[in-house]
Homo-oligomer: A and B are copies of this chain.
Amino acid sequence: MTKFDEATQAIRVDDTTYDVCLDDGYSIGGPLNGGYLVATVLRAVVDASPHAHPVSTSAQFLRAPRPGPARVIVERLKSGRTVTTARASLVQDGQPFIEALVTTATLDAAAVPDWSGGPPVTMPGRDACVRLPMPKPESNMTLSAQMEMLFDPPTIGWLSGEPTGRPEARAYFRMAEPQDPDPYVLALAVDALPPVVFSAGARGWAPTVELTWHLRALPAPGWLTLLGSGRLISDGWFDEDVEVWDSAGRLVAQSRQIARVGRG
């Protein structure tokens, strides 16, 4: 079991209740990373389902939970031959922190696409990409140590005062501890990029309000490629779309989140 597997572990208490322990190694400066929290919720939902994979997940982020013990409450809504639907809540001190709707199904690892679009942009090779500087310990950005990310340089130009002027972020991604990507790693990956709005010149805490992601195929071992973009920044809101491609060149996950533009 990797550190990530352990940090997202959900221990069955009864048919609808799972104990989890939220790990302070996934902090993004205080709050825990939303993708990490969703991965933890999905461990419980998949355990409670007759199907193997979280194909579609929508999550509302109500509050930022503290590291430490929490529970996932899973309510099965309908179960059929092809899909099972469930509602799940991440609860701490009796209050919901994340509310999710999850459809599970069993994907075929050998499926060959009937049709696939290509990546929307071409990434430079990994040797032409760059790491972000290690965050200062006092920033409490502990998440950075869990992942290895190599960024397409212009998309982190905002770090040196040169944002591209468009909402975008692109990087190669893998876990720092050797681990083949799986659906839970993908749940982390779809929320692992810096907010795309940074590249359009915004700064500050950009809280996710809602994130939906779909697992489209089981990822091959190796690096993942994260392609993040946005369509509109308006009225304090922005969207962030992330496509995740695996080392075999397949689209394995699609996400869209709607978030608030940070102030100050």
CB <8 Å contact, A234 and B77: no
Using CB atoms, name the residue of chain B closest to A210. Answer: B56
Contacts of A99 in B (CB 8 A): 77, 85, 87, 101
Let me know if A161 is at the binding interface, CB within 8 A: no
Interface residues of A in 94-111 (CB under 8 A from B): 96, 99-101, 103, 107-108, 111
CB <8 Å contact, A117 and B60: no
What is the count of identical protomers in the complex?
Answer: 2
The smallest C-beta distance from A221 to any residue of chain B, in angstroms, reads: 19
Q: Which of A85, A96, A235, A239 has the most B CB atoms < 10 Å from its CB?
A: A235
Interface residues of A in 69-102 (CB under 8 A from B): 77-78, 82-83, 85, 87, 96, 99-101
CB <8 Å contact, A209 and B83: yes
Contacts of A117 in B (CB 8 A): 166, 230-232
Q: Report Cα–Cα, A117/B238, bound state, in Å.
A: 12
- Of B56, B116, B165, B261, which one neighbours A258 at CB under 8 angstroms? B56
Contacts of A87 in B (CB 8 A): 87, 99
CB <8 Å contact, A234 and B111: yes
Let me know if A12 is at the binding interface, CB within 8 A: no
Let me know if A126 is at the binding interface, CB within 8 A: no
Let me know if A68 is at the binding interface, CB within 8 A: no
CB <8 Å contact, A239 and B254: yes
| Cβ contacts A180-203/B at 8 Å (1 or 0 each) | 000000000000000000001010
The smallest C-beta distance from A258 to any residue of chain B, in angstroms, reads: 5
| Cβ contacts A145-158/B at 8 Å (1 or 0 each) | 00000000000000
Q: Which of A1-9, A20-28, A35-43, A211-219 lies at the interface with chain B?
A: A211-219
- Of B113, B200, B260, which one neighbours A233 at CB under 8 angstroms? B113
- Of B108, B237, B243, which one neighbours A216 at CB under 8 angstroms? B237
Contacts of A140 in B (CB 8 A): none
Contacts of A111 in B (CB 8 A): 234-235
Contacts of A165 in B (CB 8 A): 115
CB <8 Å contact, B58 and A116: no
With known contacts A107-B235, A232-B113, A233-B113, A62–B77 Cβ distance under 8 A: yes
The smallest C-beta distance from A212 to any residue of chain B, in angstroms, reads: 4
What are 16 A-B interface contacts by the 8 Å CB criterion?
A: A56-B258, A58-B60, A58-B212, A60-B77, A99-B101, A100-B101, A101-B210, A103-B210, A113-B234, A115-B165, A115-B200, A115-B230, A115-B233, A116-B231, A214-B258, A216-B237
